[in-house]
Structure 1
């Protein structure tokens, strides 16, 4: 990703970042989370937890600061997300917290709905 596209992505609105995430993950067949003794999570305005994911390693690394400063980017294959992660997230009643930036929080998405968008 060129530095201009990288810089511009963090300035996008939440819905635009979600669409970028869907497009990039569909192309690369991978998404990225932050991991250290467990995956990074965020909570929405109602306190509902979500697994935090990004479309690429660079954006995940950009957010490996503050409360996630001990975390490192880790790849999640799209096939693994679709086949195993979605059902587990549903069981534990978690959402997917898509593409936060240092300037804006994630877009919280139902895991089943996200899987449908990524198929």
Structure 2
């Protein structure tokens, strides 16, 4: 059942996945990223750095790489601390890869 739910959500269109992301983050009051002992996972290029985020651990686990592990970020910390830092550093969000 869990795999069917994950597949169904992954098969949604990008706007539908984004809506799902917003609903779940609102419900659980947390965002998931990938982190290792050095810090948060980033991706992209020198011209455009992206910070990947998901609404639930199961989706972050599907995309983890190297030594990075799915790590929750409380919504308050995400909005009050992390988003301003990302904006200052010109890092864009990659929602629900």
The alignment's TM-score, normalised by the length of structure 1, stands at 0.73
Matched, 1:53 2:53: yes
Aligned to 1:40: 41
- Structure 2: where are the runs of 5+ without partners? none
Q: State whether structure 2 residue 84 is matched by structure 1 residue 83.
A: no
TM-score, normalised by the number of residues in structure 2: 0.88
The one-character-per-residue Cα deviations of 1:95-116 (angstroms, maximum 9, x if unpaired) are 111011xxxxxxxxxxxxxxxx
State the partner residue of 1:71: 68
In the alignment, which residue of structure 1 is the partner of 2:30? Answer: 30
TM-align CA RMSD:
1.9
Where does structure 1 lack aligned partners over 5 or more consecutive residues?
101-119
For residues 15 and 48 of structure 1, the distance between their equivalents in structure 2, rounded to whole angstroms, comes to: 21
Structure 2 distance, partners of 1:56, 1:91, is 26
Question: 1-side partners of 2:72 and 2:61: how far apart?
Answer: 12
Runs (4+) off by over 6 Å: none
Q: When you count strand as a share of all residues, which structure comes out higher?
A: 2
The Cα shift of 1:49 comes to: 1.0
SS at match of 1:70: coil
